[in-house]
Structure 1
Amino acid sequence: MNRIQEIEKTVKENLAVMLYFSAPTCNVCHALKPKLLEAIEGNFKEFKIISVDISLEQEIAAHYGVFAIPTVLIFLDGREFLRKSRHMSVDEVVREIQRPYEIMLS
């Protein structure tokens, strides 16, 4: 099974999945990632988080149509729910996930 198949399997088998696309040369990615992971893990216990380094895994970025970093893809119940690129705030991401996530779990 290749990495894309592994990711798709994770998306299918879990209620909530976040893909975080970044690269070692991206300073914004490094500043955002720990804050975003902390917020997701703190607010949404069911989330699986997958990091993708696009400098090593360009085919994954291409598969998901990701051309800018950082990019966050949120999958809820197996479907892409939210896509944020470049300029995003942690609060904005959390706010947009909160309600549908709570509805799914209730």
Structure 2
Amino acid sequence: MIEIDNKEEILEILEKSKCVLLYFGAINCGVCEVLKIKIEKKISKNFSKMKQYYINSNQNFDIASYFNVFSSPTILVFFEGKEFKRYSRNMSLDIFNSEIKRLYEMVF
């Protein structure tokens, strides 16, 4: 997962990429760290064409607020520049995988 801290760069990536995952996490958040590793492995294994980016919510309030992210961890999934799904706090990795898989297979 690539750490990014520039809103304009994120918007450009969303515009040019077919499939993007934005992971908003916070420093000193145990759930954020554990979930980030699991999501990163699952995406790399099952959805290799999906680009993954990490945004530190503590240091990038402007980016978090732009995307209406007010809790950590929050995951936003975009297909062709449009937000497809938003996951926050408690989530099932199985449900995450099945929901992403459906549209991912349609796009690729």
Letter in 2 for 1:47: M
CA distance in 2, matches of 1:66, 1:20: 10
Equivalent in 45, 48, 51 of residue 45 of structure 1 = 48
CA distance in 2, matches of 1:89, 1:34: 14
- Deviation >3 Å, runs of 4+: none
CA distance in 2, matches of 1:25, 1:60: 19
2:87 corresponds to which residue?
Answer: 84
Count residues in correspondence: 104
Give the alignment's Cα RMSD to 1 decimal: 1.1
Is 2:103 aligned against 1:62?
no
What is the DSSP-based 3-state SS (H/G/I as helix, E as strand, rest coil) of the residue aligned with 1:20?
Answer: strand
Is 2:20 aligned against 1:17?
yes
Q: What runs of 5+ residues in structure 2 fail to find an aligned partner?
A: none
CA distance in 1, matches of 2:68, 2:105: 28
Letter in 1 for 2:70: F
Equivalent in 99, 102, 107 of residue 96 of structure 1 = 99
Kindly state the Cα deviation for residue 25 of structure 1 after the two structures are TM-superposed. Answer: 1.5
Identity %: 38
CA distance in 2, matches of 1:89, 1:26: 18
Letter in 2 for 1:64: F
What is the DSSP-based 3-state SS (H/G/I as helix, E as strand, rest coil) of the residue aligned with 1:46?
Answer: coil
Kindly state the Cα deviation for residue 89 of structure 1 after the two structures are TM-superposed. Answer: 2.1
Q: What runs of 5+ residues in structure 1 fail to find an aligned partner?
A: none
What is the DSSP-based 3-state SS (H/G/I as helix, E as strand, rest coil) of the residue aligned with 2:71?
Answer: coil
